[in-house]
Amino acid sequence: MWVWGLLLTAVLPCNSIWFNPAWQQLSFDVYRSSLNHRVDYISKELTKTHLNTGISLTEEVKNHVKKLSAPDDVIGVILNENLGGYGNETFNAIPMNPATEEIWRLKVMNPVYNFLSTNESWEKLTFEFLPVYEFDNSTRSSGFGVAIVVNAYDNEFYILKGYIPNPPKAKISDRIIPYLYSTSPISSGTGLETYEFGTAADQPPYSKRVEKACKYLLNDDIQRGMNSSETEEIAGFHPDVPGLLISKRFNAGNSTYNVVPMDQKAVEEFKTRVESPIIAYYTDPANSPNIVRVDVHVLYGDRVSIRPVGFLVHTRKPEKGLAVSNLYIPNQTSSKL
């Protein structure tokens, strides 16, 4: 039974535990698709105590991954044994392009291990893995987002954040270009939405930039938003226009962190791939009492840029239990991703 009425006017922060995982396995929070059992989201808290406690992949898991693989794929381990990963769980391994697997191993797993092994034992990381699929019934991810944040007292920052493409080897016309970077310390602000923001450099002059926007939507937000109109600034003919992370159709507030430079195609993709499906979801009266969560991870080319290179949109809604989805929206006119 869903009980939402008490939260009609509440604003939940991005780190709220309002949505529990589909199930929790071995201290991993794992969401799987009800359609084909694919992995849609993984999170785990990591500390120094997890180092070198995992096990290597079993033959059963390797065979499972091979069934999902494209030609010339290799097996990619999401959290390897050095970080306490479990090799006997199918959610912890996926098909990867060989170049993608090398990027993941050298530029994600190794830096995380080095950070935990060289910092104080009380340092805690929150690891998030967000696979992106081309179609609803796909079982091989076309790319994945990663967000690894340090949860230290009065000092939160991403040691690693970004997006890594995972195209089949046969479809590569150029080298794979990932976007992976660390951030300065981040702060959070809550209004009608929650925003994580920091600065785009370690030395002055500082330029603030938003790292993430989050909103828990009610049908009431959609009804109020329908009476609003997007700002006239959104329409334009320049390469970049002011784009909204959280749509005014979702009853978004007026925070300046909600506005970032976007190319016109990205603006349209937010409307067709994020806004329209959620509005359509609420047209079914059975969904009226439900809460939908929308996270928009804003991705940059490095730790000093102020123009996003793309957006990773993560949504959760009650549907056959809990439906979780991720999509990547590039923010460049001639993206190779």
Question: How do the domains of the chain map onto residue ranges?
Answer: 1-20+185-337, 33-182
Degrees to nearest 5, angle at CA 312 with 160 and 139 = 100
Long-range CB contacts for residues 10-13, cutoff 8 Å, separation at least 24: 11/190, 11/191, 11/192, 11/193, 11/194, 11/216, 12/194, 12/216, 13/188, 13/190, 13/194, 13/214
Q: How confident is the model at residue 153 (pLDDT cuts 50, 70, 90)?
A: low
Q: Averaged over 62-66, what is the pLDDT?
A: 96
At residue 18, does pLDDT exceed 60? no
Greater confidence, 173 or 2? 173
The torsion angles phi and psi of 287, rounded to 5 degrees, stand at -90, -5
At residue 69, does pLDDT exceed 90? yes
pLDDT of residue 227: 57
Greater confidence, 126 or 184? 126
pLDDT of residue 237: 42
Task: Specify the fold of 33-182.
Answer: Extracellular Endonuclease; Chain A (3.40.570)
For residue 141 the two structure tokens come to 């991810």
pLDDT of residue 323: 78
Q: Which of 83-92, 144-153, 168-177, 250-259 has the lowest mean pLDDT?
A: 168-177
b/e string for 224-246 if b means 16 or more Cβ within 10 A?
A: ebeeeeeeeebeeeeebbebbbb
* Domain with residues 1-20+185-337, CATH architecture: 3-Layer(aba) Sandwich (3.40)
Do 1-20+185-337 and 33-182 show the same overall fold? yes
